């Protein structure tokens, strides 16, 4: 097992400098459909924030706004103090160049519902690809670290396998290792276990819990209430593009205050 790159900060005080993600009044429309109608959010370094909500409530869209896969129409998002996608100069916003956006994304890992591993590369190549291509480290060093990361997610014996030869749970663990290889400050998970057979969900959640224990800042869209209760530091319930309710996961799950939260929890519990 290797040391994780992120220092443990789970119990850090809520000072302003500790804020890893701040979103203010984020709006996003697809044509006439306003998917996000003013989302506010604050995630401190080392925290695990769980995002819940019915299908179509805009959870994925919001997650994709955080690493600028989607351009927001209004509002601001900062990650570790950096304004995402723009530079503010002289009271004016300037769009960042593609290269600068890419640089911002390197600090943010993302794990997708459908894994999105590169099918033409082996497991090891999947993990090594980005750090080497982006000049982070030499090939030999990257391989060594990738092998260690894969060992950490329990796939030390699958380095030469192709994604198609792995189960869904194994693929998702490779995807997590691939994201970690870029040594991100923040990890975004978009329903990482929703495409998995029930018996494979546990192995992925275990890796994520391990990561949370090591102090990684995480925003997790999930329907796994148990996970939210166990490792979540905060919970946000979204519906129809707005935050309906937020707070401590154990409290919200035990005593939801809003009708919509209640009916949603009743369905997933």
Partner 1 sequence: MTTDKATTVRARAEPIRAVPVRHPGRWVAVAVLAVLTAMFVHLLATNDAFNWSFMVDKMFRPPIIEGLLRGTVLMTVCAMLIGVVLGVVIAVMRLSDNPILRGVGWLYTWFFRAVPRLVLLAVFGNIGILWSRIEFGVPFDTQLGQLFGIDNLQLRLFGFSSRDILTGFMAGLLGLALSEAAYMAEIVRAGIQSVDPGQTEAAQALGMGRGQLLRRVVLPQAMRMIIPPTGNETIAMLKDTSLLLYVPVSVELFFQLDAVGKRTFQIFPMYVAACLWYLFLTSILLVGQYFLERHFGRGYGSAGRARLRLRGMAAETGGNPGKVEP
Ligand X SMILES: Nc1ncnc2c1ncn2[C@@H]1O[C@H](COP(=O)(O)OP(=O)(O)O)[C@@H](O)[C@H]1O
Residues near Mg ion, by CB under 5 A: 60
Report the run of H or E that residue 257 belongs to, with start and end: none
Q: Which of residues 158-187 bind ligand X (CB under 6 A)?
A: none
Instruction: Using the minimum distance from each CB to partner 1, give the nearer residue, 199 or 259.
Output: 199
> Does 91 participate in binding ligand X (rule CB under 6 A)?
no
Burial of 100 (0-12, 13-18, 19+ CB in 10 A): middle
Cα 224 from Cα 204, distance rounded (Å): 12
Buried b / exposed e across 43-58, counting CB within 10 Å, b at 16+? bbbbbbbbbbbbeebb
Instruction: Using the minimum distance from each CB to Mg ion, give the nearer residue, 56 or 202.
Output: 56
> Does 106 participate in binding partner 1 (rule CB under 8 A)?
yes
Distance of CA 134 to the CA centre of its chain: 21
The angle, 0 to 180 degrees and rounded to 10, between the axes of the packed helices 198-213 and 168-180 is: 20
Instruction: Using the minimum distance from each CB to Mg ion, give the nearer residue, 113 or 122.
Output: 113
Instruction: Using the minimum distance from each CB to partner 1, give the nearer residue, 77 or 228.
Output: 77
Cite the beta strand spans of 53-90 per DSSP E.
74-79, 82-83, 86-89
**Residue 105 to residues 33, 128, 216, 234, 243: CA-CA distances in angstroms?**
27, 17, 16, 24, 25
Location of structure tokens 């014996």: 157
Instruction: Using the minimum distance from each CB to ligand X, give the nearer residue, 61 or 246.
Output: 61
Partner touching 61 among ligand X, partner 1, Mg ion, none, CB below 5 to 8 Å by kind: ligand X
Residues 120-139 vs partner 1: string with x where CB under 8 A? x--------xx--xx-----
Identified binder of ligand X from the candidate list 44, 48, 58, 128, rule CB under 6 A: 58
Phi, psi (rounded to 5 degrees) for 63: -60, -40
User: Smallest distance from the beta carbon of 23 to partner 1, in angstroms?
Assistant: 18
Inter-residue contact 159 to 150 (CB < 8 Å): yes
> Does 269 participate in binding partner 1 (rule CB under 8 A)?
no
User: Smallest distance from the beta carbon of 60 to ligand X, in angstroms?
Assistant: 3
Partner touching 57 among partner 1, ligand X, Mg ion, none, CB below 5 to 8 Å by kind: ligand X
User: Smallest distance from the beta carbon of 51 to ligand X, in angstroms?
Assistant: 8
Instruction: Using the minimum distance from each CB to ligand X, give the nearer residue, 52 or 204.
Output: 52
Instruction: Using the minimum distance from each CB to ligand X, give the nearer residue, 67 or 126.
Output: 67
Q: To 5 degrees, how large is the angle CA 256–CA 65–CA 134?
A: 130
Chain residues that interact with ligand X, rule: CB under 6 A: 30, 35, 53, 55-61
Chain residues that interact with partner 1, rule: CB under 8 A: 67, 69, 98-99, 102-103, 105-106, 108-110, 112, 114, 116-120, 129-130, 133-134, 161, 163-168, 170-171, 175, 178-179, 182, 200
């Amino acid at each position: 097992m290797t040391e994780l790159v992120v220092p443990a900060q789970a119990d850090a005080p809520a000072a302003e400098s500790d804020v890893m993600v701040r979103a203010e009044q984020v709006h996003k429309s697809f044509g006439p459909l306003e998917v996000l109608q003013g989302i506010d959010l604050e995630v401190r370094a080392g925290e695990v924030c769980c995002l819940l909500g019915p299908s179509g409530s805009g959870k994925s869209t919001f997650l994709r706004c955080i690493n600028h896969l989607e351009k927001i129409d209004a509002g601001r998002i900062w990650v570790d103090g950096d304004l995402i996608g723009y530079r503010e100069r002289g009271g004016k916003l300037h769009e960042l160049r593609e290269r600068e956006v890419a640089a911002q994304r390197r600090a943010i890992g993302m794990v997708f519902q459908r894994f999105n591993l590169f099918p033409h590369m082996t497991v090891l190549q999947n993990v090594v690809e980005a750090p080497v291509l982006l000049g982070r480290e030499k090939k030999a060093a990257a391989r060594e670290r990738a092998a260690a990361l894969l060992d950490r997610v329990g796939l030390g014996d699958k380095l030469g396998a192709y994604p198609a030869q792995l189960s869904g749970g194994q693929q998702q663990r490779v995807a997590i290792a691939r994201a970690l290889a870029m040594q991100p400050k923040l990890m975004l998970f978009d329903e990482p276990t929703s495409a998995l057979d029930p018996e494979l969900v546990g192995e992925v959640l275990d890796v994520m819990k391990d990561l949370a224990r090591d102090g990684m800042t995480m925003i997790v869209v999930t329907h796994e209430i148990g996970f939210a209760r166990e490792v979540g530091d905060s919970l946000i319930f979204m519906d129809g593009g707005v935050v309906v309710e937020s707070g401590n996961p154990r409290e919200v799950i035990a005593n939801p205050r809003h009708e919509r939260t209640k009916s949603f929890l009743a369905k997933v519990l």
